[in-house]
Amino acid sequence: MEPDVNMIEQKIRLIERQPVSWNKEETWLRVQKQVAPTAKRYRVYYYAAAVIFFVLFGVRGVHYLKNDSLVNPDENAVTEIVTETIPSIEKEVVQEKVIAPEPVYELHTEHKHVSPMANAQETTVLPDTKIEIDLEVEELLLSFSEEVHPQKVMPIVGVITDPVYDKVVNVKPKRKKLFHKLEPGEKKISEDYQNTIIIARIK
Amino acid sequence: MSEEELVRQCKKGDAKSQRQLFDMFSDRFFRLALRYVKNAHEAEDVVMTTFVKIFDNLKKFSYRDKGSLEAWMRKILVNEALMTLRRRHNFYLTETLDAENPEHDKEFFQDADAAYLYQLILELPDGYRTVFNLFAVEGYDHREIADLLGITESTSRSQLFKAKQLLKRKINREGLHYGT
Protein backbone atom coordinates (compact mmCIF):
# COMPACT_ATOMS: atom_id res chain seq x y z
CA MET A 1 0.00 0.00 0.00
CA GLU A 2 1.25 3.39 -0.88
CA PRO A 3 2.41 5.68 1.93
CA ASP A 4 -0.23 8.35 1.37
CA VAL A 5 -3.12 5.92 1.43
CA ASN A 6 -3.29 5.46 5.20
CA MET A 7 -3.20 9.17 5.69
CA ILE A 8 -6.03 9.82 3.24
CA GLU A 9 -8.06 6.94 4.68
CA GLN A 10 -7.72 8.31 8.22
CA LYS A 11 -8.80 11.77 7.15
CA ILE A 12 -11.81 10.57 5.21
CA ARG A 13 -12.92 8.17 7.95
CA LEU A 14 -12.67 11.02 10.42
CA ILE A 15 -14.95 13.14 8.27
CA GLU A 16 -17.42 10.29 7.89
CA ARG A 17 -17.83 9.98 11.65
CA GLN A 18 -19.09 13.53 11.94
CA PRO A 19 -22.87 13.94 12.08
CA VAL A 20 -24.61 14.78 8.85
CA SER A 21 -28.14 15.92 8.07
CA TRP A 22 -30.02 13.63 5.74
CA ASN A 23 -33.39 11.86 5.54
CA LYS A 24 -32.46 9.37 8.19
CA GLU A 25 -35.95 8.66 9.52
CA GLU A 26 -37.43 8.28 6.09
CA THR A 27 -34.68 5.88 5.12
CA TRP A 28 -35.25 3.89 8.30
CA LEU A 29 -38.96 3.61 7.54
CA ARG A 30 -38.12 2.33 4.07
CA VAL A 31 -35.73 -0.18 5.58
CA GLN A 32 -38.44 -1.36 7.95
CA LYS A 33 -40.91 -1.69 5.11
CA GLN A 34 -38.45 -3.80 3.17
CA VAL A 35 -37.33 -5.94 6.07
CA ALA A 36 -40.76 -6.62 7.61
CA PRO A 37 -42.37 -8.06 4.45
CA THR A 38 -39.38 -10.32 4.02
CA ALA A 39 -39.87 -11.74 7.49
CA LYS A 40 -43.63 -11.97 6.93
CA ARG A 41 -43.06 -13.68 3.61
CA TYR A 42 -40.90 -16.32 5.24
CA ARG A 43 -43.48 -16.71 7.99
CA VAL A 44 -46.21 -17.20 5.39
CA TYR A 45 -44.08 -19.82 3.66
CA TYR A 46 -43.54 -21.65 6.94
CA TYR A 47 -47.26 -21.62 7.73
CA ALA A 48 -48.17 -22.74 4.23
CA ALA A 49 -45.68 -25.58 4.42
CA ALA A 50 -47.03 -26.59 7.82
CA VAL A 51 -50.62 -26.56 6.55
CA ILE A 52 -49.71 -28.64 3.50
CA PHE A 53 -47.80 -31.05 5.71
CA PHE A 54 -50.71 -31.53 8.10
CA VAL A 55 -53.24 -31.80 5.28
CA LEU A 56 -51.25 -34.48 3.48
CA PHE A 57 -50.08 -36.50 6.44
CA GLY A 58 -53.19 -35.82 8.50
CA VAL A 59 -55.49 -37.26 5.85
CA ARG A 60 -53.21 -40.23 5.35
CA GLY A 61 -53.07 -40.74 9.09
CA VAL A 62 -56.87 -40.85 9.33
CA HIS A 63 -56.95 -43.26 6.41
CA TYR A 64 -54.48 -45.54 8.13
CA LEU A 65 -56.43 -45.32 11.35
CA LYS A 66 -59.59 -46.37 9.53
CA ASN A 67 -57.81 -49.27 7.92
CA ASP A 68 -56.36 -50.33 11.23
CA SER A 69 -59.77 -50.22 12.85
CA LEU A 70 -61.24 -52.41 10.10
CA VAL A 71 -58.42 -54.92 10.30
CA ASN A 72 -58.50 -55.02 14.07
CA PRO A 73 -62.23 -54.96 14.69
CA ASP A 74 -62.93 -52.71 17.55
CA GLU A 75 -66.65 -52.46 17.97
CA ASN A 76 -66.72 -48.79 18.64
CA ALA A 77 -64.52 -47.98 15.70
CA VAL A 78 -66.54 -50.09 13.29
CA THR A 79 -69.83 -48.60 14.34
CA GLU A 80 -68.40 -45.13 13.90
CA ILE A 81 -67.29 -45.88 10.39
CA VAL A 82 -70.62 -47.45 9.52
CA THR A 83 -72.52 -44.47 10.78
CA GLU A 84 -70.30 -42.29 8.68
CA THR A 85 -70.65 -44.29 5.50
CA ILE A 86 -74.38 -45.05 5.50
CA PRO A 87 -75.54 -41.53 4.67
CA SER A 88 -73.26 -41.44 1.67
CA ILE A 89 -74.79 -44.67 0.37
CA GLU A 90 -78.27 -43.30 0.89
CA LYS A 91 -77.33 -40.30 -1.15
CA GLU A 92 -76.15 -42.58 -3.92
CA VAL A 93 -79.45 -44.41 -3.85
CA VAL A 94 -81.32 -41.16 -4.20
CA GLN A 95 -79.18 -40.22 -7.16
CA GLU A 96 -79.79 -43.63 -8.64
CA LYS A 97 -83.55 -43.18 -8.42
CA VAL A 98 -83.35 -39.90 -10.15
CA ILE A 99 -81.27 -41.23 -12.98
CA ALA A 100 -82.90 -44.60 -13.62
CA PRO A 101 -86.64 -45.25 -13.95
CA GLU A 102 -88.30 -47.68 -11.58
CA PRO A 103 -89.08 -50.42 -14.14
CA VAL A 104 -85.37 -50.84 -14.51
CA TYR A 105 -85.09 -52.39 -11.10
CA GLU A 106 -88.03 -54.68 -11.70
CA LEU A 107 -86.57 -56.02 -14.88
CA HIS A 108 -83.22 -56.92 -13.35
CA THR A 109 -84.30 -59.14 -10.62
CA GLU A 110 -80.96 -60.95 -10.41
CA HIS A 111 -79.34 -57.71 -9.16
CA LYS A 112 -81.94 -56.85 -6.65
CA HIS A 113 -79.36 -57.08 -3.92
CA VAL A 114 -77.77 -53.90 -5.20
CA SER A 115 -80.53 -51.44 -4.65
CA PRO A 116 -81.76 -52.54 -1.24
CA MET A 117 -78.20 -52.81 -0.03
CA ALA A 118 -78.29 -49.33 1.39
CA ASN A 119 -81.15 -50.32 3.65
CA ALA A 120 -80.20 -53.88 4.34
CA GLN A 121 -76.44 -53.78 4.79
CA GLU A 122 -75.91 -51.75 7.83
CA THR A 123 -72.87 -53.57 9.10
CA THR A 124 -70.67 -53.74 6.05
CA VAL A 125 -69.38 -51.22 3.63
CA LEU A 126 -68.80 -51.92 -0.01
CA PRO A 127 -66.62 -49.21 -1.42
CA ASP A 128 -67.38 -50.03 -5.06
CA THR A 129 -71.15 -49.90 -4.72
CA LYS A 130 -71.54 -46.77 -6.73
CA ILE A 131 -69.57 -48.13 -9.62
CA GLU A 132 -71.70 -51.27 -9.84
CA ILE A 133 -74.92 -49.32 -9.74
CA ASP A 134 -73.77 -46.94 -12.38
CA LEU A 135 -72.83 -49.78 -14.69
CA GLU A 136 -76.20 -51.42 -14.29
CA VAL A 137 -78.06 -48.27 -14.89
CA GLU A 138 -76.07 -47.62 -18.00
CA GLU A 139 -76.81 -51.09 -19.34
CA LEU A 140 -80.49 -50.78 -18.68
CA LEU A 141 -80.67 -47.41 -20.17
CA LEU A 142 -79.03 -48.75 -23.23
CA SER A 143 -81.58 -51.59 -23.52
CA PHE A 144 -84.44 -49.16 -23.15
CA SER A 145 -83.07 -46.66 -25.47
CA GLU A 146 -82.47 -49.08 -28.29
CA GLU A 147 -84.07 -47.87 -31.45
CA VAL A 148 -85.41 -49.98 -34.27
CA HIS A 149 -84.20 -48.86 -37.62
CA PRO A 150 -86.67 -50.26 -40.24
CA GLN A 151 -85.07 -51.28 -43.44
CA LYS A 152 -86.93 -51.82 -46.69
CA VAL A 153 -86.83 -55.31 -48.08
CA MET A 154 -85.59 -54.92 -51.57
CA PRO A 155 -86.84 -57.38 -54.26
CA ILE A 156 -84.35 -59.80 -55.68
CA VAL A 157 -83.99 -59.05 -59.31
CA GLY A 158 -82.43 -61.75 -61.48
CA VAL A 159 -82.60 -63.66 -64.77
CA ILE A 160 -84.02 -67.09 -65.00
CA THR A 161 -81.77 -69.36 -66.97
CA ASP A 162 -83.06 -71.68 -69.63
CA PRO A 163 -82.98 -75.01 -67.92
CA VAL A 164 -84.89 -73.59 -65.03
CA TYR A 165 -87.29 -71.97 -67.43
CA ASP A 166 -87.80 -75.23 -69.20
CA LYS A 167 -88.51 -76.97 -65.99
CA VAL A 168 -90.93 -74.30 -65.01
CA VAL A 169 -92.61 -74.39 -68.35
CA ASN A 170 -92.79 -78.12 -68.43
CA VAL A 171 -94.47 -78.24 -65.17
CA LYS A 172 -98.08 -78.57 -65.97
CA PRO A 173 -100.72 -79.29 -63.55
CA LYS A 174 -101.40 -82.89 -63.92
CA ARG A 175 -104.84 -83.61 -63.01
CA LYS A 176 -105.08 -87.07 -62.00
CA LYS A 177 -108.32 -88.71 -61.85
CA LEU A 178 -108.33 -89.98 -58.45
CA PHE A 179 -111.85 -91.06 -58.46
CA HIS A 180 -113.11 -93.62 -60.79
CA LYS A 181 -116.53 -94.74 -60.94
CA LEU A 182 -116.97 -98.28 -60.32
CA GLU A 183 -118.29 -99.80 -63.31
CA PRO A 184 -120.74 -102.37 -62.75
CA GLY A 185 -119.07 -105.56 -62.93
CA GLU A 186 -120.28 -108.66 -64.48
CA LYS A 187 -123.41 -109.54 -63.05
CA LYS A 188 -122.46 -113.00 -62.89
CA ILE A 189 -119.72 -113.86 -60.61
CA SER A 190 -117.90 -116.76 -61.82
CA GLU A 191 -118.16 -119.65 -59.79
CA ASP A 192 -114.45 -119.84 -59.57
CA TYR A 193 -114.40 -117.09 -57.08
CA GLN A 194 -111.14 -118.16 -55.72
CA ASN A 195 -109.37 -116.90 -58.82
CA THR A 196 -111.46 -113.79 -59.14
CA ILE A 197 -109.95 -110.51 -58.20
CA ILE A 198 -112.38 -108.12 -56.87
CA ILE A 199 -111.43 -104.63 -57.80
CA ALA A 200 -113.14 -102.12 -55.82
CA ARG A 201 -112.29 -98.65 -54.58
CA ILE A 202 -113.57 -97.16 -51.58
CA LYS A 203 -114.89 -93.67 -51.93
CA MET B 1 -25.26 -3.27 24.75
CA SER B 2 -22.06 -4.55 23.20
CA GLU B 3 -21.66 -4.87 19.45
CA GLU B 4 -21.66 -8.64 19.68
CA GLU B 5 -24.85 -8.68 21.71
CA LEU B 6 -26.38 -6.23 19.28
CA VAL B 7 -25.61 -8.56 16.41
CA ARG B 8 -27.12 -11.46 18.33
CA GLN B 9 -30.33 -9.57 18.97
CA CYS B 10 -30.53 -8.40 15.37
CA LYS B 11 -30.18 -11.99 14.23
CA LYS B 12 -33.24 -12.80 16.31
CA GLY B 13 -35.11 -10.05 14.46
CA ASP B 14 -35.38 -7.65 17.40
CA ALA B 15 -36.61 -4.33 15.96
CA LYS B 16 -35.06 -2.18 18.70
CA SER B 17 -31.65 -3.70 18.14
CA GLN B 18 -32.00 -3.22 14.40
CA ARG B 19 -32.82 0.43 14.98
CA GLN B 20 -29.81 0.76 17.27
CA LEU B 21 -27.53 -0.74 14.65
CA PHE B 22 -28.98 1.61 12.06
CA ASP B 23 -28.35 4.62 14.33
CA MET B 24 -24.78 3.54 14.97
CA PHE B 25 -23.72 3.27 11.35
CA SER B 26 -26.20 5.06 9.11
CA ASP B 27 -24.58 8.53 9.26
CA ARG B 28 -21.14 7.39 8.29
CA PHE B 29 -22.63 5.05 5.71
CA PHE B 30 -24.55 7.90 4.17
CA ARG B 31 -21.33 9.89 3.81
CA LEU B 32 -19.57 6.84 2.43
CA ALA B 33 -22.33 6.26 -0.12
CA LEU B 34 -22.33 9.92 -1.03
CA ARG B 35 -18.60 9.73 -1.68
CA TYR B 36 -19.29 7.13 -4.36
CA VAL B 37 -22.56 8.16 -5.95
CA LYS B 38 -22.32 11.92 -5.24
CA ASN B 39 -26.11 12.30 -5.19
CA ALA B 40 -27.96 12.53 -1.85
CA HIS B 41 -31.08 10.67 -3.02
CA GLU B 42 -29.04 7.91 -4.54
CA ALA B 43 -26.91 7.76 -1.41
CA GLU B 44 -30.07 7.32 0.68
CA ASP B 45 -31.19 4.53 -1.64
CA VAL B 46 -27.81 2.87 -1.26
CA VAL B 47 -27.99 3.10 2.53
CA MET B 48 -31.50 1.72 2.56
CA THR B 49 -30.68 -1.21 0.31
CA THR B 50 -27.52 -1.88 2.29
CA PHE B 51 -29.33 -2.13 5.61
CA VAL B 52 -32.01 -4.34 4.12
CA LYS B 53 -29.28 -6.70 2.89
CA ILE B 54 -27.49 -6.46 6.22
CA PHE B 55 -30.58 -7.52 8.16
CA ASP B 56 -31.40 -10.24 5.67
CA ASN B 57 -27.89 -11.70 5.67
CA LEU B 58 -26.87 -11.09 9.26
CA LYS B 59 -27.34 -14.77 10.08
CA LYS B 60 -24.48 -15.56 7.73
CA PHE B 61 -22.18 -13.15 9.55
CA SER B 62 -19.97 -14.47 12.32
CA TYR B 63 -18.70 -11.90 14.76
CA ARG B 64 -14.94 -12.04 15.32
CA ASP B 65 -13.79 -8.73 16.77
CA LYS B 66 -14.92 -5.15 17.10
CA GLY B 67 -14.04 -4.02 13.59
CA SER B 68 -15.37 -7.10 11.81
CA LEU B 69 -19.00 -5.98 11.78
CA GLU B 70 -18.24 -2.57 10.31
CA ALA B 71 -15.88 -4.02 7.73
CA TRP B 72 -18.54 -6.53 6.64
CA MET B 73 -21.21 -3.86 6.40
CA ARG B 74 -18.91 -1.46 4.53
CA LYS B 75 -18.24 -4.12 1.92
CA ILE B 76 -21.95 -4.54 1.36
CA LEU B 77 -22.41 -0.80 1.07
CA VAL B 78 -19.51 -0.36 -1.35
CA ASN B 79 -20.91 -3.13 -3.55
CA GLU B 80 -24.31 -1.47 -3.53
CA ALA B 81 -22.76 1.87 -4.43
CA LEU B 82 -20.86 0.30 -7.29
CA MET B 83 -24.05 -1.33 -8.54
CA THR B 84 -25.72 2.06 -8.48
CA LEU B 85 -22.85 3.50 -10.48
CA ARG B 86 -23.06 0.66 -13.00
CA ARG B 87 -26.74 1.40 -13.53
CA ARG B 88 -25.70 4.77 -14.80
CA HIS B 89 -24.86 4.20 -18.40
CA ASN B 90 -22.08 6.79 -18.45
CA PHE B 91 -19.78 4.90 -16.11
CA TYR B 92 -16.78 4.21 -18.33
CA LEU B 93 -13.18 3.80 -17.30
CA THR B 94 -10.37 4.27 -19.81
CA GLU B 95 -6.71 3.49 -19.53
CA THR B 96 -3.97 6.06 -20.00
CA LEU B 97 -0.35 5.32 -19.30
CA ASP B 98 1.26 7.87 -17.02
CA ALA B 99 3.87 7.72 -14.30
CA GLU B 100 3.21 8.69 -10.73
CA ASN B 101 5.33 9.78 -7.82
CA PRO B 102 4.10 8.37 -4.48
CA GLU B 103 6.53 10.31 -2.36
CA HIS B 104 5.28 13.54 -3.79
CA ASP B 105 1.67 12.40 -3.14
CA LYS B 106 2.48 11.78 0.50
CA GLU B 107 3.75 15.31 0.96
CA PHE B 108 0.89 16.70 -1.03
CA PHE B 109 -2.02 15.13 0.89
CA GLN B 110 -0.42 15.20 4.33
CA ASP B 111 -1.45 18.69 5.31
CA ALA B 112 -4.62 18.97 3.24
CA ASP B 113 -7.71 19.72 5.27
CA ALA B 114 -9.87 16.60 5.71
CA ALA B 115 -13.21 18.25 5.00
CA TYR B 116 -11.87 20.01 1.97
CA LEU B 117 -10.27 16.80 0.72
CA TYR B 118 -13.61 15.09 1.11
CA GLN B 119 -15.28 17.84 -0.90
CA LEU B 120 -12.66 17.63 -3.62
CA ILE B 121 -13.15 13.88 -3.86
CA LEU B 122 -16.85 14.45 -4.48
CA GLU B 123 -15.99 16.74 -7.35
CA LEU B 124 -13.94 14.10 -9.15
CA PRO B 125 -15.44 12.37 -12.20
CA ASP B 126 -17.12 9.06 -11.51
CA GLY B 127 -14.32 6.83 -12.74
CA TYR B 128 -11.53 8.65 -10.97
CA ARG B 129 -13.54 9.01 -7.82
CA THR B 130 -14.52 5.37 -7.68
CA VAL B 131 -11.02 4.05 -8.10
CA PHE B 132 -9.62 6.65 -5.72
CA ASN B 133 -12.22 5.77 -3.09
CA LEU B 134 -11.63 2.06 -3.43
CA PHE B 135 -7.86 2.36 -3.37
CA ALA B 136 -7.10 5.28 -1.07
CA VAL B 137 -9.99 5.02 1.42
CA GLU B 138 -11.29 1.45 1.40
CA GLY B 139 -7.86 -0.09 1.02
CA TYR B 140 -8.46 -2.36 -2.00
CA ASP B 141 -5.49 -3.14 -4.20
CA HIS B 142 -5.57 -2.78 -7.97
CA ARG B 143 -6.33 -6.41 -8.60
CA GLU B 144 -9.35 -6.30 -6.34
CA ILE B 145 -10.50 -3.06 -7.93
CA ALA B 146 -10.09 -4.60 -11.36
CA ASP B 147 -12.28 -7.53 -10.29
CA LEU B 148 -14.90 -5.31 -8.70
CA LEU B 149 -15.21 -2.95 -11.63
CA GLY B 150 -14.53 -5.41 -14.45
CA ILE B 151 -11.48 -3.54 -15.68
CA THR B 152 -7.79 -4.29 -16.01
CA GLU B 153 -5.28 -3.52 -13.28
CA SER B 154 -3.51 -1.02 -15.51
CA THR B 155 -6.78 0.82 -16.03
CA SER B 156 -7.22 0.96 -12.28
CA ARG B 157 -3.72 2.39 -11.85
CA SER B 158 -4.31 4.90 -14.59
CA GLN B 159 -7.59 6.05 -13.07
CA LEU B 160 -5.98 6.44 -9.67
CA PHE B 161 -3.11 8.44 -11.08
CA LYS B 162 -5.47 10.76 -12.89
CA ALA B 163 -7.59 11.19 -9.80
CA LYS B 164 -4.59 12.25 -7.75
CA GLN B 165 -3.40 14.62 -10.46
CA LEU B 166 -6.76 16.28 -10.58
CA LEU B 167 -6.92 16.60 -6.81
CA LYS B 168 -3.50 18.22 -6.75
CA ARG B 169 -4.50 20.63 -9.45
CA LYS B 170 -7.62 21.62 -7.57
CA ILE B 171 -5.77 22.10 -4.33
CA ASN B 172 -3.10 24.21 -6.04
CA ARG B 173 -5.70 26.31 -7.77
CA GLU B 174 -7.61 26.95 -4.56
CA GLY B 175 -4.41 27.77 -2.71
CA LEU B 176 -5.16 25.36 0.10
CA HIS B 177 -2.00 23.37 -0.29
CA TYR B 178 -0.21 22.73 3.00
CA GLY B 179 -3.22 23.87 4.95
CA THR B 180 -3.04 27.49 3.94
Total number of domains constituting chain B: 2
For residues B79 and B117, membership in a common domain is answered with no
| CB-count burial class (<10 Å; 0-12, 13-18, 19+) for B78 | buried
Task: Work out how many domains chain A is built from and give that number.
Answer: 2
Return d(Cα A149, Cα B51) in angstroms, integer: 84
Same structural domain, B9 and B66:
yes
Whether residues B169 and B117 fall in one domain: yes
Residues B111 and B70 in one domain: no
Q: Are the Cβ atoms of A4 and B121 closer than 8 angstroms?
A: no
The answer to whether residues B31 and B78 belong to one domain is: yes
Per-residue pLDDT reduced to its tens digit, B25-78: 999 999 999 999 988 999 999 999 999 999 999 988 988 888 899 999 999 999
A85 and A131 belong to one structural domain: yes
If DSSP codes are grouped into helix, strand and coil, which group holds residue A148? coil
Residue A42 and residue A92 in one domain: no
Domain boundary among A72, A102, A136: A72
B19 interface with A at CB cutoff 8 Å = yes
The answer to whether the CB atoms of A22 and B44 lie below 8 A apart is yes
Same domain, B14 and B70: yes
List, for residues B136-168, the tens digit of each pLDDT value. 889 999 999 999 998 999 999 999 998 988 888
Expressed as residue numbers, the domain containing B121 is: 102-179
In a shared domain, residues A31 and A61:
yes
Interface test with A, best of B18, B36, B47 (most A CBs within 10 A): B47
Is residue A176 a part of any domain in this protein? no
Query: Which residue of B52, B73, B77, B167 to mutate against A (max A Cβ within 10 Å)?
Result: B52
Contacts of A8 in chain B (CB under 8 A): 109, 117, 136-137
Residues B107 and B55 in one domain: no
**A89 and A48 belong to one structural domain:** no
Complete DSSP assignment for A159-174: ---HHHHHHHHH----
Separation between Cα atoms, residue B47 and residue B37, nearest integer Å: 11
Cα R_g (chain B), whole angstroms: 18
Domain with A52 in it: 25-72
Look at residue B81 and tell me whether its pLDDT is greater than 70: yes
Instruction: Judge if B120 and B83 occupy the same domain.
Output: no
CATH number for the domain harbouring residue B111: 1.10.10.10
B64 and B22 fall within a common domain: yes
The 10s digit of each residue's pLDDT in A129-186 is: 555 555 555 555 555 555 667 777 777 777 666 655 555 555 566 666 666 666 665 5
Which of B87, B117, B146 is at the close of a domain? B87
- Average pLDDT score over residue span A101-107: 50
**A174 occurs within a structural domain:** no
pTM to 2 decimal places: 0.54
Is A195 inside a domain boundary? no
Answer yes or no: do A110 and A133 share one domain: yes
Q: Does some domain include residue B93?
A: no
pLDDT at B47: 95
Assign residue B26 the CATH number of its domain: 1.10.1740.10
ipTM of the complex: 0.80
Identify which of A16-20, A115-119, B56-60, B98-102 has the greatest average pLDDT: B56-60
Q: Which helix (H) or strand (E) holds B52?
A: helix B40-57
Q: Cβ separation of B136 and A5 shorter than 8 Å?
A: yes
Q: What is the DSSP letter of A110?
A: G
Q: Which of A11, A24, A42 to mutate to test the interface with B (most CBs of B within 10 A)?
A: A11
Tally of CB atoms within 10 A around B146: 19
